[in-house]
A and B are shown apart, each in its own frame.
Chain A
């Protein structure tokens, strides 16, 4: 049962343009959402999070949007840089589940210079 889905296995973007990574979830109990970036041979690095009481959160070049009615969130990276090339994971959690994170399968982002 894939409760968190990232339907795009990969995305290629030109340097300086916007990267949009998408994530869908099915469990309405989820109330906290996170994005992680992962380089090869490293652990996931926390990027940005959003609580279900908000619909947008910004941190520098990264913005996460949450649409609760559609059970959909997205990560926008503007402007994209070659160093952003990595695997991006969407994760969700719920107070009832402690701090168990449920991850999507990831999207490989390639930023071309």
Chain B
């Protein structure tokens, strides 16, 4: 079975631009969560979607938004990029919306210049 896939792998953007990151969960998984990981820190929770509804939002500004599609894939959008948005963005999927194992994709490395 295919794992969680994310695209693109790497991305370079300029300050002020907008970016869209994509995630496909493991087949059968209905929950997708997004995390941001900066160097030297653990992943930080951004959003959770379950059955296409937002179930949780972390402490991130409104420039960050996400959605989940009928096939359970998801997009993370970040507007008005700042240098501090440079990070590894991780997508994780799980079977339910509860606090159980989540399986992570390889991430998208975003660099903002």
Contact = CB atoms under 8 A, between A and B. Distances in A.
B103 A46 contact: yes
Contacts of A22: none
Interface string B86-112: 000010101011111111111100000
B56 interface: yes
B33 interface: yes
A97 B107 CA distance: 23
Given A32-B100, A46-B101, A49-B101, A98 B44 contact: no
A98 B42 contact: no
Contacts, number: 79
A106 B105 CA distance: 18
Nearest to B44: A103
A16 interface: no
A100 interface: yes
Contact of A43 (B58, B97, B105): B105
B102 to A, nearest CB: 6
Given A32-B99, A97-B99, A98-B56, A45 B48 contact: no
Interface string A14-56: 0000000000000000011010100001111110010000000
A101 B43 contact: yes
A105 B58 contact: no
